[in-house]
Structures are given as C-alpha cells and as structure tokens.
Amino acid sequence: MYRLNVYDATQKRLKIIFDYFDYVYVSFSGGKDSGVLLNLCIEYIRKYAPGRKLGVFHIDYEIQYQQTTEYVKRTLSKNQDILEVFHCCVPFKVTTCTSMFQRYWRPWESSHQELWARDMPQNCLTQDDFEFYTEELWDYDFQKLFIKWLRKKTKSRHICCLVGIRTQESFNRWRSIHSDKNYKRLLNYKWTHKTGWHEYNAYPIFDWNTSD
C-alpha cells in the first residue's frame, strides 16, 4: 500500500485549508519551520491558486541574528506579488530569563529608543495600529488577539493562521496535536484547532522530522 510522504500529505492539508478558508496567513518568525511552511504555501498558491493572496504575520522582536533579519527581508521581498505582510513591531511584554530584577522586557519600547538594537523597519505596524493594545499585553496575548483584528480588517468569514510547529521538537508540541483536550477542530482534523468564532490555527507540517 502506498503511504503518503510528508510533502504530499502537506499538499493535501493545504488544499483543505485554502478550499475552506477565505483568508489564510502564516505565522512567520524567520526560523526553519515557519520558513519551510511559508515556502510551501507560496509554492501551493503559485501552482494551484493563482491570483490569491497569502497573509504573513511577522512579529519582530527587535533583537535577533542579522542573518535572520536578512532572510526575512529576502523571502518577503521576492514574493511580494502574492504576500500581504503584517510586520509587527509592538512593545508588548516578553518573558526574560536574563534579569534578576524584572521578569519581562519590551521590544521597540519608545521610551528607550537609545537602547534599541537596530532601527525600526519602515512600513511596520506599531502599537498605534492596534486598538486592542495595552501596556499589560504579553506577546502571546497579542498573537491571540491579532487573528480577531485581522479577520475584521480583511472582512473575512473564515480565517486561519498556519503555524509551523513539529511534534518531533517537544512533548508539549506533540500534546498540542494529539491530546484529547484538542477536541475543537475543523472537520475533525487533528492538525487544526479552533481559537474563536470561525477562527482556527492549523499545523500542516506537524509530522515532519528533521531528516525531512
């Protein structure tokens, strides 16, 4: 019996996603897994859904490797004809383990521009673009609220955020897919999770291994 390889399995999942949702976006950090997922989506759209746009949600944490910044710029630039980029530079709270005096820090904090690791990118979205922003907001809360903001902005009925997690990387990631607690799914696909009214996360490369 023929068994699907992970690439073909992902193609089938992407078809399900793009057929069902009227707006799809990728959470793209610039890392290996989200980079693979973004390129798979770009390839899929160019091949099977010409004329369709793909959203890209990029949280810029200010402090990162220069090579990561360059990779993000390069990838987004060469595919700008099909991408709608939401490059977010927001001073939400971010957990830190490098200080004995505070448990969080803020990227792009306007009151400390002299400490910024680099200049803020042009045409990025800041706290002023999000009516839900408050100084008490953590980065993970921002991600949860962003999908609601984007659904309203794009006037979408069904919206999906694609996340490039792989269960091989940690037990928590394995549990996020296979746990019985993940019962709020799209059409009972275990690699999806309902987060709100007509709002979903999907994990199309959850079963990829490092060797793939």
Residue 31 in domain: yes
Q: What is the mean pLDDT of residues 116-131?
A: 96
> Tell me, what amino acid is at 53?
K
Residue 210 in domain: no
pLDDT in tens, 176-206: 665 666 667 777 788 899 989 999 999 998 8
pTM of the entire predicted model: 0.90
DSSP state of 125: B
The rounded distance, in Å, linking the Cα atoms of 72 and 135 is 27
Residue 193 in domain: yes
Q: What is the number of residues in the chain?
A: 212
Q: What is the total count of domains within the chain?
A: 1
Q: What is the mean pLDDT of residues 123-142?
A: 97
CATH number of the domain to which 159 belongs: 3.40.50
pLDDT in tens, 52-77: 999 999 999 999 999 999 999 999 99
Q: What is the mean pLDDT of residues 72-95?
A: 97
Residue 104 in domain: yes
Pick from 191, 175, 163, 178: which is nearest to 36 by CA?
163
Residue 207 in domain: no
Residue 208 in domain: no
Residue 79 in domain: yes
Mean pLDDT of the chain: 90
Whole-number Cα distances in Å, 30 to 154, 163, 193: 24, 12, 23
Whole-number Cα distances in Å, 64 to 25, 33, 120: 22, 16, 13
Q: Looking at residue 181, what is its pLDDT?
A: 65
pLDDT in tens, 149-167: 999 999 999 999 999 866 5
**Domain boundaries, position 54:** 6-202
Residue 27 in domain: yes
pLDDT in tens, 16-65: 999 999 999 999 999 988 999 999 999 999 999 999 999 999 999 999 99
